[in-house]
Amino acid sequence: MYDISDSDILPLSLEHTFWTWSAQAKVDPIPVARAQGVYFWDVDGKRYLDLNSMVMCVNIGHGDQRVIDAIIEQARQLPFAGPPMATKPRAALGKLLTEITPGDLDRFLFTLGGADANENAIKLARAYTGRQKILARYRSYHGATAGAMAVTGDPRRVSWEPNVMPGVVHFLDPYRYRSTFHRTNPDISETDFCHDYLNHLEEIILYEGPETIAAILIETVTGTNGVIIPPDGYLQGVRDLCDRYGILLIADEVMSGFGRTGKWFAVEHWNVVPDLMTMAKGLTSGYAPLGAVAMRPKIAEFFDQRTYVGGLTYNSHPISLAAAIANIQVMQADHLVEKAAAMGPVLHRMLVDLGEQHPSVGEVRSIGLFGIIELVRDRRTKEPMAPWNGTSPEMNAFRKYLLDHGVFLYTHWHTALIIPPLIISQEQLADGFAVLDEALAITDKAVEA
Ligand SMILES: Cc1ncc(COP(=O)(O)O)c(C=O)c1O
């Protein structure tokens, strides 16, 4: 296709292309040649088990011919039509998403990815409510465009301050393992724990002035910042606070959507319907770039006679929409949401077993095929294996061991995330855990005796 040999891929990519999230001289990319199922291969034929679904997005697995064929067919029929046009994939995907999204979410704005889905959700909420402030959580990532970066709570925002979108107030996540409020009473009941975090949120709402707050934006299950699974009652409580104060609830399901947690969308675990819901990643399983904002009828109707001021050249791109339709059909035909739900306890058991065998495992958490291992130097003090926003020789060696032994996963500071394609089998997961088991010998050595 191109006059580039396998051995040229790495040097030419390094010489002429610029890498996101990286110091250019320090990148060490894997030259990927092909991918199939839960594996990808580099140009030397080395196989990697993909425990991160590439970028937490290849939910249906790599190389599914049904999605590839749909993309080819769409490219033949109509590779591009601008956002003002009505197209067949646009009509079909809107209908399909109405069927699989919860409650009365039935209108969809198609974006290029997750960050601009959140940008649009913020704009929609501000216009609809006539209010400006957005409340979001510290342990969150919502994307790297200006507004999405401002709502992001983690240090990826801090790097760009003070020049980020104004009007964002952050609050704390219900993160039980390191709960600020419960250092002296860690055994507090789930109900009281939940109330403490809802009270914290309500206090902030009152201090900020409810009449100034357009929306509360949260990752339903926090992703890169810790796979934080909200306690029962929390999401319902946030919904109630929103209703009480006329605030919109925006659920960011970019990572937690499309079967990742064992439901189509994580909000379904708690029977909560957000006013706006953002999605991307698993929407096309990465086969083409696409995000979306789902909205309830009241929000769509608000714009019946008012212009929505916003849009990009590639909104509703036909090839991406076709990829999404085929991807959802694959998920339905192969029962991948049900499969993820069934594999959830299997992954959880493997995580718990691993934790029991390794003193450097502080805690494991998972929901569906969305898991995390927190590595610590001391289980009692919970001192993390790498500092907040940092790394450590042990974490680097741990990651290197996994890669050397053909397991690809995402490490974030002192954590390792387990986010495999939803098609993974028990045997394939066990293969990955066997390597993890060996790699943890490295971090175990750092545990103070
Ligand atoms: C929860 C969440 N929201 C938003 C985004 C941003 O999505 P994108 O990278 O497609 O812009 C991400 C990406 O990792 C994410 O995990």
CA of 188 to the centre of ligand 1 (A): 33
10-38 pLDDT tens trace: 999 999 999 999 999 999 999 999 999 99
Supply the residue whose CA is at minimum distance from atom 16 of ligand 1: 255
Q: CA-based angle 191:193:199, to the nearest 5? A: 100
Supply the residue whose CA is at minimum distance from atom 13 of ligand 1: 143
CA of 135 to the centre of ligand 1 (A): 18
pLDDT at 68 over 90: yes
pLDDT at 448 over 80: no
State the Cα–Cα distance between residues 329 and 289, nearest whole angstrom.
17
> Which atom of ligand 1 lies at the shortest distance from residue 140's CA?
1
Cis peptide before 359 (omega within 30 of 0): no
State the Cα–Cα distance between residues 128 and 248, nearest whole angstrom.
9
- C-alpha pair distances (Å), 92 with each of 324, 329, 402, 423: 10, 11, 41, 25
Average pLDDT value for residue range 147-176: 95
Residue 1 pLDDT grade (very low, low, confident, very high; cuts 50, 70, 90): low
pLDDT at 387 over 90: yes
> Which atom of ligand 1 lies at the shortest distance from residue 118's CA?
4
Cα 233 off chain centre by: 22
Nearest to 228 by CA among 279, 200, 193: 193
pLDDT of residue 2: 75
CA of 254 to the centre of ligand 1 (A): 6
Token pair of 29 as six digits? 């990319």
Average pLDDT value for residue range 148-161: 93
> Which atom of ligand 1 lies at the shortest distance from residue 289's CA?
10
CA of 116 to the centre of ligand 1 (A): 9
Which of 56, 116, 254 gets mutated to test ligand 1 (max ligand atoms within 8 A of its CB)? 254
197-216 pLDDT tens trace: 999 999 999 999 999 999 99
CA of 305 to the centre of ligand 1 (A): 31
Supply the residue whose CA is at minimum distance from atom 3 of ligand 1: 142
To the nearest whole percent, how much of the chain has pLDDT over 90? 98
CA of 167 to the centre of ligand 1 (A): 21
pLDDT of residue 449: 64
Residue 327 pLDDT grade (very low, low, confident, very high; cuts 50, 70, 90): very high
Pocket of ligand 1 (CB under 6 A): 113-115, 118, 141-143, 219, 223, 252, 254-255, 280, 291
CA of 59 to the centre of ligand 1 (A): 15
CA of 141 to the centre of ligand 1 (A): 7
Dihedral sign of CA atoms 73, 76, 82, 86 in order? negative
Nearest to 191 by CA among 202, 176, 177: 176
pLDDT of residue 127: 98
> Which atom of ligand 1 lies at the shortest distance from residue 114's CA?
7
94-103 pLDDT tens trace: 999 999 999 9
CA of 281 to the centre of ligand 1 (A): 8
> Which atom of ligand 1 lies at the shortest distance from residue 116's CA?
11
Residue 317 pLDDT grade (very low, low, confident, very high; cuts 50, 70, 90): very high
Which of 59, 142, 218, 227 gets mutated to test ligand 1 (max ligand atoms within 8 A of its CB)? 142
To the nearest whole percent, how much of the chain has pLDDT over 70? 100
